[in-house]
Structure 1
């Protein structure tokens, strides 16, 4: 009986976690909606400006974070290892500076909210008035 209760509770948690959706967020001064292609270009440093012309500041969660993995699977199509290699080349050749990394979605949201032109990604359930949703991949 206890095993069944634990199994049911575990399945409820898994279902709740898997129903969460990652969204790309921006500072409220960045009201532009983005296409998947525009988001990909921003996150791969192929575009350094938002569609409205504002310079973009890219924020990432730390490697291994499930939200980071989900976001990049949906937007850039790259794994953590591929991203590390990609960014190492860009930084080494001087073509770009690595994005700021944050240890949590809370820190990511705070950084985006505090910087005009900043973008990041968090769980859709964590969106509040301090940031705007730019893309639901």
Structure 2
């Protein structure tokens, strides 16, 4: 029984150590933003930010939206489909990975995106830890 509990505890700790800490990033000159402002920006609601998303299927994207916008991948896809169909908005541009996200955000003072906190470097600034 003790062996079974040890294996279970080890399995649970491995699962939790794999979880990434998603952060919102901006240009190094950017100011911090609130979670509410990030939600509005990533849902295209009256923001002055240039927003970048990771591609669909990326687990960091799923975690970010679950935490910040409260939407699952399916809900997010439905939301943007409706926005496009009704002419109320277009989804943000997508980038393939963390290095693409950092390059896009670093190149524009008004740009924001999100990555795993472990991928942050001097080219960008963490502006929100949701």
TM-score (norm 2): 0.84
Distance in 2 separating the partners of 1:85 and 1:95: 13
SS in 1 for 2:41: helix
Match of 2:35 in 1: 36
Unaligned runs of 5+ in 1: 1-6, 50-55
Aligned-pair CA distance for 1:35: 1.1
Q: Check the 8 A contact 2:44/2:91 in 1, yes or no.
A: no
SS in 2 for 1:71: helix
Aligned-pair CA distance for 1:73: 0.7
Q: How do 1:31-70 and structure 2 match up within 5 A?
A: 32-49=31-48, 56-70=49-63
RMSD across aligned positions (CA): 1.8
Distance in 1 separating the partners of 2:28 and 2:73: 28
User: Would you say 1:130 and 2:130 are equivalent positions?
Assistant: no
Distance in 1 separating the partners of 2:109 and 2:89: 19
- Cα deviation 1:48-96 (Å, max 9, x = unaligned): 22xxxxxx11111111111001100110000111111111111222222
- Cα deviation 1:103-123 (Å, max 9, x = unaligned): 111111111111221110001
Unaligned runs of 5+ in 2: 1-6
Distance in 2 separating the partners of 1:121 and 1:135: 9
Match of 1:3 in 2: none
Match of 2:18 in 1: 17
Match of 1:114 in 2: 107
Match of 1:52 in 2: none
Distance in 2 separating the partners of 1:63 and 1:133: 22
Equivalent pairs, count: 121
Q: 1:17 to 1:47 in 2, by over 3 A?
A: same
